[in-house]
Amino acid sequence: RREKRKKEREEHGDAAVPVQVPRTTDNMREADDTFVVSSDEEIEADEADDEYQEYYKDDVEPNIMITTQKDPCPRTRRFVEELVALLPNSESFERRGYTIRQITQYCVNK
């Protein structure tokens, strides 16, 4: 079949049967209306008003507080120790009898 089509294209030139394009995921994909162009003015304005932009631009180094449930198992404690060693500017806080609200207030005041 392929040879037959090739021969027809050679004989008929532009009037021949058009070359078939294989159906792939990329050429069957519909245009995405939600895709944003990088030079979109609305997006640039949103990024300029972003309250966390200092963290993404490395102007401010975030403080990270790691806590667990009230009575963590030894395996969880070791994992928290590894996280503290891995993440810069982080510390762990043993929850004990404190509520999340109390821990959050402690972090805000620190």
> Could you tell me what percent of the chain has a pLDDT over 70?
95
The model's pLDDT over 24-49, given as tens digits with 9 standing for 90+, comes to: 988 888 877 777 777 788 888 887 78
**3-11: average pLDDT:** 81
Compute how many other C-beta atoms are within 10 angstroms of the C-beta atom of residue 51. Answer: 6
Q: What is the pLDDT of residue 83?
A: 95
**β-bridge partners, 65:** 91
Structural tokens at position 36: 């944003």
CA distance 95 to 107: 13
Structural tokens at position 4: 């037959």
Cα torsion through 46, 48, 52, 53, rounded to 10: 130
The model's pLDDT over 65-74, given as tens digits with 9 standing for 90+, comes to: 999 888 889 9
Whole-structure pTM value: 0.48
